Chains A and B, each alone.
Chain A
Amino acid sequence: MDILDKVTQAEYKYGFVSDIESDAAPMGLSEDIVRFISAKKNEPEFMLEYRLKAYNHWLTMEVPKWQNVNFPDIDYQKIIYYSAPKPKKVLNSLDEVDPELRATFEKLGISLDEQKRLSNVAVDAVLDSVSVATTFRSKLAELGIIFCSFSEAVKDHPDLVKKYLGTVVPYTDNFFAALNAAVFSDGSFCYIPQGVRCPMELSTYFRINAANTGQFERTLLIAEAGSYVSYLEGCTAPVRDENQLHAAVVELIAMDRAHIKYSTVQNWYPGDKNGKGGIYNFVTKRGLCAGVESKISWTQVETGSAITWKYPGCILKGDGSIGEFYSVALTNNCQQADTGTKMIHIGKNTKSTIISKGISAGRSNNSYRGLVKINKNAHNARNFSQCDSLLMGDQCGANTFPYLEVDNSTATVEHEATTSKIGEDQIFYCNQRGISTEDAIGLIVNGYCKEVFNQLPMEFAVEAQKLLAVSLEGSVG
């Protein structure tokens, strides 16, 4: 037997649950690893139980194969499921940052302070985002809003976590949701009390400990009756990450007349031009409109990752509840995206809107996959879907897979789909007015995405526009 195998197996035999001092779990996944993670995080018993149930269920599941993407099988025993947040190397000045990354920062118009924060350059205490975050937090606390890391929530608000964890995305939901439930390292928790209108956009950026949430992130957001919150996930700056597999879970719960607006900009490393490297982003996001006339709006701008597999959906349980999905998914080079939404109508007079804008360039492949399901008792449910694809060049692909299940004859369902190409004529028209080809493409693409960008908070929308331009750079010769 190979000496290396011997050593690793020996280690395994002894177990490491007792070895709580170690910084990282050994490679691979087992019941012991799950216990190790829970112990490391000092979790209460209910969390460990939850994780173990999820793990045991995961063992019975298989990797889904139905998506329209290709990737080599992932060896789940070759992943390290827990490692203590490693302090990133602190740089002395921005001069030490990778010039290519800096150039992208510049193009996105990211401020110097923000550039420093993102690339871990030491900053003055005054400018440190943590102090900004602290001020924000105390302001939120006055209103009774809880906004903290998932680990903190487990410690400080175990009742809330216990009550809602896994109620929207149960670990039985799918392979990656089960995996996440077993091993998730951290994430965000947010609770908006009854009748409170959250006065600012909640952004993970302002959450302490936002860094190092790792590859299995978990978000739980609860909006009590009559409350409102707008939540921003991600940032437009390019995120380089060593972890190839990301399997996050996001659960949203809206009570009577509550409104949750959840916006994402995802710009993870897509791999190089030839498709080497890059992140696999397999996310389960779902919102439950539990109360009457509640509303959940998903808005996403996806430009990163080598493979994206993501279907933010809404369960419209409360009568008169509303689900919305606005999405821009851009793929370039060798990226693959299979994304869309699920709208499950259960309550009466429920309404859903789906606006999906796919943009494919290079040799990429972009699929929309959406399910609209109208249950038996969902009288007068209404859905409108519009799925547009924009192709740049002739080596890319776009597909639309709309699924429709209607079990109530009073439902109104409308679906529109278009596929278009950025025309030479449009570009020439812009050129003739003095606009360069690159700017012309930016204009045309932004025009195409307008309905989605309009849903984003103003600042985010401006950043998203720039991001699209950067992501498409050089895609038209």
Chain B
Amino acid sequence: MLSIKNLRVSIEDKEILKGIELNIKAGEVHAIMGPNGSGKSTLASVLAGREEYTITSGEVDFDGINLLDLAPEERAREGLFLAFQYPVEIPGVSGATFLKTAVNEVRKHKGLEPLDAMEFLNVMKEKMQLVEIDKSLISRPVNEGFSGGEKKRNEIFQMAMLEPKLAILDETDSGLDIDALKIVANGVNKLKSKDNAVIVITHYQRLLDFIVPDYIHVLYNGRIVKSGTRELALELEEKGYDWIKAENKEVPAV
């Protein structure tokens, strides 16, 4: 589904991603871990199409399309979803209005008729139950005055509504207590199918107790320095990131 080859990205002349290689198939869950500042969020942002980054080399294939050629909204319509680490507030725009616009854009792209108000409401009801989110949050302006946990839950609700092929969860666990974490993870698990894939970006292994990944990658200093299965997460939990850092001392450029 997603194939990243030798992706190099810089910002303001500083290289942040230094040759990322990653392959993800439909039905898989991948976790990307790593110490702060290693480039995890940058990777998520670049995949979603944030403009302030310069891509100096590399390719990203998303189900046969060259992802890097597309504008952010086109990537979204093709089925790429980013659950933001810091979801943005949009005052005065209700969650329902916002999502109706989004859902119908995606439908238009797929050649489907837009949902009318009744149909949309029914879909919303169903998905609200699925991810256990309260109706009042949806009728309020997008993210305005939401608590950290409510914002994250709202991201997962949007994901449920948009039914993406590939969802990237950027530190969705940060700032959540254990109950909120479970609800969020539960939602993600219910949305999982053999046709879609999830990338979970996290600093801690805690979330991975609830969203069990098929593969784990450790990102350090702009490179994926280790890949493995679930055991790798437990090893990281036990030893911290220091041994990774030690193993990957900056090698002077040749």
Chain A residues at the B interface, C-beta cutoff of 8 Å? 423, 425-426, 428-437, 439, 443-444, 446-451
Contacts and interface: CB of A to CB of B under 8 A. Distances in A.
Contact of B72 (A431, A444, A449): A431
B33 interface: no
Contact of A435 (B51, B75, B82, B102): B102
Given A429-B90, A432-B84, A443-B93, 8 more contacts: A426-B88, A428-B48, A432-B48, A432-B49, A432-B81, A434-B106, A447-B93, A448-B91
Contacts of B82: 432
A431 B71 contact: yes
A418 to B, nearest CB: 10
Contacts of B98: 430, 433, 443
Nearest to B80: A432
A450 to B, nearest CB: 4
A93 B51 CA distance: 46
B57 interface: no
Contacts of A425: 88
Interface in B24-66: 48-51
A443 B71 contact: no
B90 A443 contact: yes
B81 to A, nearest CB: 8
B162 interface: yes
B76 A434 contact: yes
26 contacts: A426-B88, A426-B90, A428-B51, A428-B72, A429-B84, A429-B87, A429-B90, A430-B73, A430-B98, A430-B102, A432-B82, A433-B102, A433-B158, A434-B76, A434-B109, A434-B162, A435-B73, A439-B105, A443-B90, A443-B93, A443-B101, A444-B90, A446-B92, A447-B93, A447-B141, A451-B92
B115 to A, nearest CB: 14
Interface residues of B, number: 31
B182 to A, nearest CB: 25
Contacts of A436: 73, 105
B11 to A, nearest CB: 14
B170 to A, nearest CB: 11
Given A443-B98, A443-B101, A432 B76 contact: yes
A433 B90 contact: no
B223 interface: no
Given A434-B162, A435-B102, A429 B88 contact: yes
A444 B92 CA distance: 8
A432 B170 CA distance: 13
B217 interface: no
B139 interface: no
Given A432-B72, A434-B76, A447 B158 contact: no
Nearest to B83: A432
B97 interface: yes
A107 to B, nearest CB: 17
A449 B76 contact: no
Contacts of A431: 49, 71-73, 76
A209 B88 CA distance: 50
B18 interface: no
B105 A435 contact: yes
Name the residue in A447, A449, A450 with the highest tally of chain B Cβ atoms < 10 Å from its Cβ.
A447
A433 B76 contact: yes
Contacts of B141: 447
Contacts of B75: 432
B77 interface: yes
A448 B48 CA distance: 26
A425 B51 CA distance: 11
Given A432-B76, A432-B82, A447 B91 contact: yes
Contacts of A435: 73, 101-102, 105
Nearest to B45: A428
